[in-house]
A and B are shown apart, each in its own frame.
Chain A
Amino acid sequence: MINIEIDGLKIEAQDGAMLIEAADEVGISIPRFCYHKKLSVAANCRMCLVDVEKAAKPLPACATPVTEGMKVFTQSQKAISAQKGVMEFLLINHPLDCPICDQGGECDLQDLAVGYGGGETRYSENKRVVKNKNIGSLIATDMTRCIHCTRCVRFGEEIAGVRELGAIGRGEHMEIGTYVASTISSELSGNMIDLCPVGALTSKPFRYSARNWEMQRHPSIAGHDCVGSNIDLDVRDNNIMRVVPRENEEINETWISDRDRFSYEGLNSKDRLTAPMIKQSGEWQRVSWDTALAFALNGVKELVGRHGAEHLGTLVSPSATLEEMYLLQKLVRGLGSSNIDHRVRQLDFSDQNRAPAFPYLGQSIESLGQSDAVLLVGANITKDQPILGHRVRQAALFGAKVMCVNSVDYKVNMPLAEKLITDVAGMEAALAGILKALLNMNKIAAPSGIDQLLHSVSISATHEKMAANLSKASHGSVLLGLSAASHPAYSTLYALAECIAELSGAKLGSLSLGANSAGAWLSGAVPHRTADSASSNQTSAGLNAIQMFTAPRKGYFLFGIEPEFDSVDPVVTTQSLKDAEFVVAFSSYASTVLSDVANVFLPISPYTETSGTFVNVEGRWQSFKGVVSPQEDTRPAWKILRVLGNLFELKGFDYMSSIEVRDELKKCLGDIKLSNKRAWLCPELSGNISEQIVEIPIYGADAITRRAVSLSITPDATGHTIVMN
Chain B
Amino acid sequence: MANEICFRTLNHKEPWALSTYQSLGGYEQWKRILKKKTPPQEIINELKESALRGRGGAGFPTGLKWSFMPRNVEGQKYIVCNSDEGEPGTFKDRDILRYNPHALIEGMAIAGYTIGANVGYNYIRGEFREPYTRFENALKEARAAGLLGKNILGSGVDFELHSQLGAGAYICGEETALLESLEGKKGQPRFKPPFPASYGLYGKPTTINNTETLASVPMILEKGGKWFHELGKPNNGGTKLFSVSGHVQKPGNYEVGMGTPFSELLKLAGGVREGRRLKAVIPGGSSTPILPADVMMDVTMDYDALSKAGSMLGAGSVIVMDDSTCMVKALARIAHFYFEESCGQCTPCREGTGWLSRVIHRIEHGEGKSTDLDMLVDVSKRIEGRTICALGDAAAMPVVSFIKHFRDEFQYHIDHKRCMVSA
Tell which of A148, A150, A171 touches B340, judged by Cβ atoms closer than 8 Å. A171
* CB-defined contacts of B369 to chain A, threshold 8 Å: 124
CA of A47 to CA of B339, assembled, Å: 21
A678 within 8 A of B: no
Contact assessment for A85 and B191 in the assembled complex, using a CB-CB cutoff below 8 Å: no
**Least distance between A83 CB and chain B CB atoms (Å):** 10
Chain B residues with CB under 8 Å of A58's CB are 385-386
- Report which of A56, A86, A89 forms a contact with B385, defined as CB distance below 8 A: A56
Chain A residues whose CB sits within 8 angstroms of the CB of B362 once the complex forms: 125
**Are B171 and A170 interface neighbours, CB within 8 A?**
yes
Complex Cα spacing A148 to B345, Å: 7
- Interface members, chain A 41-72 (any B CB < 8 Å): 41-47, 49, 56-58, 60, 63, 65
Within 8 Å by CB of A170, from B343, B358, B371, B375, lies B343
A436 to B291, CA, bound (A): 80
**Distance (whole angstroms) from the CB of B26 to the closest CB of chain A:** 40
The listed residue (B186, B347, B355, B375) touching A148 by CB distance below 8 A is B347
With A90-B351, A125-B355, A148-B344 given, is the CB distance from A46 to B386 under 8 Å? yes
Docked Cα-Cα span, A82 to B385, in Å, equals 10
Say whether A125 contacts B359, CB under 8 Å: yes
Residue picked from A85, A89, A123, A173, most chain B C-beta under 10 Å:
A89
Q: With an 8 A cutoff between CB atoms, is B143 at the interface?
A: no
CA distance A154 to B323 in the complex (A): 51
Closest to B348 in A: A89
For residue A174, which residue of chain B has the nearest CB? B344
| A88 interface residue (CB < 8 Å to B) | yes
Contact A42 B345 (CB under 8 A): yes
Residues of chain A within 8 A (CB-CB) of B191 are: 41-43, 60, 63
Q: Which residues of B contact A90 (CB under 8 A)?
A: 347, 351
Query: Chain A residue with minimal CB distance to B351?
Result: A89
Would B354 and A85 count as touching, CB distance under 8 A?
no
| The residue from A45, A122, A124 contacting B346, defined by CB atoms under 8 A apart | A45
Asked whether, in the complex, the Cβ of A88 is within 8 Å of the Cβ of B382, the reply is yes
Partner of B344, one of A123, A124, A169: A169
**In this assembly, does A438 line the interface, its C-beta being within 8 Å of a C-beta of chain B?**
no
| A167 to B180 CA separation, bound complex (whole angstroms) | 15
As a 0/1 sequence over residues 379 to 409 of chain B, the CB contacts with chain A under 8 angstroms (1 = contact) are 0001001111000000000000000000000
Best-surrounded residue of A43, A169, A170 (most CB of chain B within 10 A): A170
| Contact, CB under 8 Å: A57 / B341 | no
Contact between chains at A85 and B348 (CB < 8 Å):
yes
A92 to B358, CA, bound (A): 13
Q: Which residue of B lies closest to A45 (CB)?
A: B347
Q: Does B301 contact A (CB under 8 A)?
A: no
| Given A58-B386, A85-B382, A89-B351, A167-B344 contact (CB < 8 Å) | yes
Residues on A with beta carbons closer than 8 Å to the beta carbon of B358? 125-126
Given A85-B386, A89-B348, A172 and B343 contact (CB-CB distance below 8 Å) = no
Is A93 a contact partner of B351 (Cβ separation < 8 A)? Answer: yes
For A45, list chain B residues within 8 Å (CB).
346-347
Expressed in whole angstroms, the minimum distance between the Cβ of A61 and any Cβ of chain B is 12
Given contact pairs A171-B342, A172-B351, enumerate 16 new A-B contacts (beta carbons under 8 Å): A46-B348, A58-B386, A82-B386, A85-B348, A89-B348, A89-B351, A89-B352, A89-B382, A92-B355, A122-B375, A125-B354, A125-B355, A170-B171, A171-B344, A171-B354, A172-B354
Which 6 A-B pairs rank lowest in CB-CB distance, beginning with the nearest? A174-B344, A85-B382, A89-B351, A171-B342, A57-B385, A125-B358
B residues with a Cβ closer than 8 A to A are 169, 171, 186, 191, 193, 339-348, 350-355, 358-359, 362, 369, 371, 375, 382, 385-388
Can you offer 16 A-B residue contacts whose CB atoms are under 8 A? A44-B346, A46-B348, A46-B386, A58-B385, A58-B386, A63-B191, A85-B386, A86-B348, A89-B352, A89-B355, A90-B347, A170-B341, A171-B339, A171-B340, A173-B344, A174-B344
